[in-house]
Amino acid sequence: MNKKTLLYLGLGSLIGATALAIIIRKVLVKYRVVKIAKDEWEGWNKPLIGIDGKLKNKGGFEADRGYSERVGKYWKEGTNKNYDGKDRKVAWSATFISWIMKKAGAGNKFIYNASHSKYITDSIANRKNGKYNEAFVGYKINEVAPKVGDLVCYSRQSGVNYDTKGSYKSHCDLVVKKSKNQLELIGGNVSQAVTKRIVSVDSKGMITDKNKDWFAVIKTNI
């Protein structure tokens, strides 16, 4: 075997090992994202919204002792702001998602912000510009089926849709489990807690839930 062949084999092995390392890292980050969300939900005493959109288990409350400090942790570590659960005029749902992503190791691939619209619009721009290999790519709600580790988003402001630009009121939950007829989602500042929500899906896995104005699925490729 000549030196040129050995060189090609060496380069091939290096490229293969690098690609494998990237795949493993992505799997681990996505696993951590889901595990962190589940652990936090349990720490809030498992608040639950059923498939009918009604609160089944109340769980903890953001302003109460212990829970207020948890919210403060999300703010400080997620978006570097000095709020806690007693600051009830500031929404912390996007900060919670930011905290999860940062803690899981998303690094500079995620836009850490107190407004969901910042990372939603960036993810949608990736989709519209054909950047399908970016870490976060936003699709229309009826375009792709959400998978575990993805984010699903709904509007909290009249007139907001997939094509809306700029800053707007919205909310995203993390998909933590998928079954034949439903998804399990976890989000922050839902009923003043970290809450799990059950939503219906069709045979293709598309969200059919009508309790919220869902408009985007953000596929994660971290």
Mean pLDDT, residues 84-101 taken together: 97
Please tell me the predicted confidence (pLDDT) of residue 2. 60
- Contact 198/50 with Cβ under 8 angstroms? yes
pLDDT category of residue 149 using cuts at 50, 70 and 90:
very high
Higher pLDDT, 3 or 89: 89
Of 5 and 32, more confident: 32
At residue 65, does pLDDT exceed 50? yes
CA dist 139 and 217 (Å) reads 5
Inter-CA distances, 178 with 81, 137, 203, 206, Å = 33, 20, 12, 11
What are the φ/ψ torsions at residue 30 (nearest 5 degrees)? Answer: -65, -40
Residue 125 has pLDDT above 80, yes or no: yes
Strands 214-220 and 151-155: antiparallel
Max intra-chain CA distance, the chain: 71
Q: What percent of the chain has pLDDT over 90?
A: 86
Structure tokens at 13: 């092995």
* Pick from 17-31, 61-75, 148-162, 208-222: least confident: 17-31
Give residue for tokens 């619209």. Answer: 117
Give domain limits for the chain: 3-61+113-220
CB atoms within 10 A of CB 85: 25
What H or E segment, with its residue span, contains residue 170?
strand 170-178
H and E: helices and strands count for the chain: 4, 8
Distance, in Å, from the CA atom of 71 to the CA atom of 43, rounded to the nearest integer, reads 12
